[in-house]
Amino acid sequence: MLGKILIIISAIGWLLSFLFFLFGENTKNDKFLKLAKISFFAGILGIVFSSVFLLFNILSHNFTITYVWSYSSRQLPFFLLVSSFYAGQEGSFLLWALWMSLISFAFYFYSKKNNLGYLPLSFFSLAILFITIILIFKSPFADLWESFPDGNIPKDFVPQDGRGLNPILQNYWIAIHPPILFLGYSLLTVPFVLALASFWKREYERFHTPMAFWSLLGAGVLGFGIMLGGFWAYETLGWGGFWGWDPVENSSLVPWLLVTALAHTLLLQKVKGGFIRTNFVLAWLSFLGVLYATYLTRSGVLSETSVHSFVDPGKIVNALLLVFLVIFAVFPLILFLIRTKEVPTPEEKIKANSRQFFVILGTIVLIIGTVVVLVGTSLPIIQGFIGAKKVALEPSFYNQWMAPIAILILIINAISLLYYWKDTSTSQLLKKLYYSIIPSLILAIIFFILAKQNLLFAFLIFSSIFSLIINVEKIYNKISTGNLRFGAFLSHLGISFLIIGAMLSGGLEKTQTIHLVEGQKANAFGYEIQLIKKERVEIEKTDREKYKFHIRMTDGNNNSIVKPIVYWSDFNNFEQPYYEPDIKTYITKDVYVAPKSFMFNESFPPISLKKGQSLKAPWSDNDTIIFLGYDMSSMHMGANQSHFMFGLILNYIIDGKSYPDTVYAILNMKSSSFSPVWKLVPTKDFSIGFTKFEPAENLEQSTVELSFGQEMLVADITIKPFIILVWLGVIFTVAGFIIAVFKYKKQKKLVVDAGK
């Protein structure tokens, strides 16, 4: 109840601060402004305290709350318990509201310091208000008996444990990627409300520098969040890629592309003036892109076409999402149409032989790419409207469309940097082009011949190297003159690295499927690969059976160990295994080992016997297996007595020699599963497993089953050349945005040397 009350208090605070800041700004009434400030901080405190309260309930295992029961459990370590805060719909909305509240706190003092007035705070309050309204109807504080009214759950019922976190999410990246992504989403609110304020107050130049500062910050953080998600997918999911053009992935890419375009048009406004309408539209569309991404991922419309999508949150929340989307689409549009004729337009014409022209051209191409991604991502919604089956577009669609767009953007970016902001003569341009285009062309031809790829691949390599060379030269010139404002060039350099890395790692990758049996060897791409052992890990956790496979990879005199994982979880009732790859990283390549299946190849028919009985071994009539008795010494393994080790004491008579041994099985009382611990038969190359127990009145009469064969791990070995360039590109791109932010720390007119 307390959590719900805090959310309601916050919603009231945001509503009142929106109204009071709006009235106070227009009337200059100090009473309104005082009430607005009180309401504003009440809204912040309501969200902060409700977030702390939810986290407290998660950490204290209060499973009477549906959200806590649904996404956490006693088995989770601390960092995953904290991460379960935002693992579901309700918690992720609260995380978004929390980031918005914290940003609003910082933005309040930023506005005060830079004399921006109170109107941006009013519009910011309106944006947070809508998120808190969703939290009222989709509360993370609902009790179990409320959530399951037909389940006849007593109000005092306390579950012993929670359902837990989806095993796929149980990775350290969940503690990093979602918070940064939501921070990026939240930051895009600021340039939007500044754009609204500029048109509302008819002060079209006043908010330019703050818009540039917050746009660059938002683009850097959101881009970082998206790219971390790509690395998470690469490291954990096992499909060997970092971007699959999934509809939900694309939905986060759209606002980033738009805010990146905004960063460029804000630069044009600073240098030459104008572009005020363009900047308003791009700031508005960037924020609208965040809302649209929220609708796509939260409404359930992509549940059939994306593994990342949430399920349908219900009619009320769906309706609210649509209402908010419409309000923030229509209100800014009306304001824009009312004010657009008043916006001043610079008299100076844009010349084709200037950097300004090519920045505009590059921005247009970037927006075209955004439209392609947006249309492709929205296709399932269009299909739903016309009654067709919802099908996500294949990655090949985006690759075919986005590759030419990437080529154009890279070439336009490179050429733009060869121009001055003012006129540039043809002779000057050709001289600069000569030193950049020749090495780019030579390297592209070499790649084309050696890699045996198509022309599109060669053009991408050419354009990336062309852009890389020119941006490296610009960075060098900046540093050599002591000018550290090279953020834009560093970001462009990062994009070049990223595309080169993606082309080389994706276009030149090689994959081979191998079958690994313990003790035996396989070969792939010059590596001798051997499964050394299978190790059961996390034995103390009773909700899973997890195995780490130690695989030795030998290349000449060099030995490496990789440890992919296969595990079963009660999250899906132990029905299907989960797989985690492992990666051996070199400077020039990654060797990517991804498990695909785990099976048992039967060598001989199983045998059944009772205590004290002996039978001929199935592999030879001359050998014997004697079942001497049971080993109960290791019965208890887990803290809550749900796992038991059940042993059989055997004696093998092989070639006249005696080999006493014990084989075990793990009995999971929670899942009612019986898992053999396979063990090599002495002197043989196959294993024995205790696979079945048929109880009788006493152990003496009970029957056990022994099976013989080989466990086999099927895995894909993939060589990904120069994948490190992708990660370097990510680092450079984000670092460039962050460096560029420092240009705008203070609100002042920055003078740009038109000759640079």
pLDDT of res. 747: 42
Place of tokens 């999971």: 668
- Residue 65 DSSP symbol: B
Residue 511 pLDDT greater than 50, yes or no:
yes
d(C-alpha 358, C-alpha 362), whole Å: 6
User: What percent of the chain stands above pLDDT 90?
Assistant: 51
Residue 640 pLDDT greater than 50, yes or no:
no
Over range 615-637, report the average pLDDT: 84
Over range 334-362, report the average pLDDT: 85
pLDDT of res. 709: 87
d(C-alpha 729, C-alpha 373), whole Å: 21
Q: What is the pLDDT of residues 162-200, one digit of tens each?
A: 888 888 888 888 999 999 999 999 999 999 999 999 999
User: Smallest Cα–Cα separation from 81: which of 90, 73, 93?
Assistant: 73
Over range 566-591, report the average pLDDT: 87
Token reading at 338: 């009312």
| 3-state secondary structure at position 86 | helix
**Predicted confidence band at 637 (pLDDT cuts at 50, 70, 90)?**
very low
455-480 helix and 395-418 helix, angle to the nearest 10 degrees: 40
Residues in the chain: 756
Q: What is the dihedral of CA 405, 356, 750, 111, to 10 degrees?
A: -50
Residue 641 pLDDT greater than 60, yes or no:
no
Over range 415-433, report the average pLDDT: 74
**Predicted confidence band at 409 (pLDDT cuts at 50, 70, 90)?**
very high
pLDDT of res. 634: 61
Over range 275-299, report the average pLDDT: 91
Token reading at 165: 């976190």
Residues 6+ apart with CB under 8 A from 403: 456, 460
The amino acid occupying position 90 is E
Residue 586 pLDDT greater than 50, yes or no:
yes
For 153-176, b where at least 16 C-beta lie within 10 A, e where not — what string? beeeeeeebbbbbebebbbebbeb
Element (H, E) at 197: helix 189-200
Model-level pTM? 0.86
DSSP 50-69: HHHHHHHHHHTT-TTBHHHH
Q: What is the pLDDT of residues 291-341, one digit of tens each?
A: 998 888 877 666 655 555 555 666 788 888 899 999 999 999 999 999 999
Over range 136-150, report the average pLDDT: 85
d(C-alpha 744, C-alpha 654), whole Å: 81
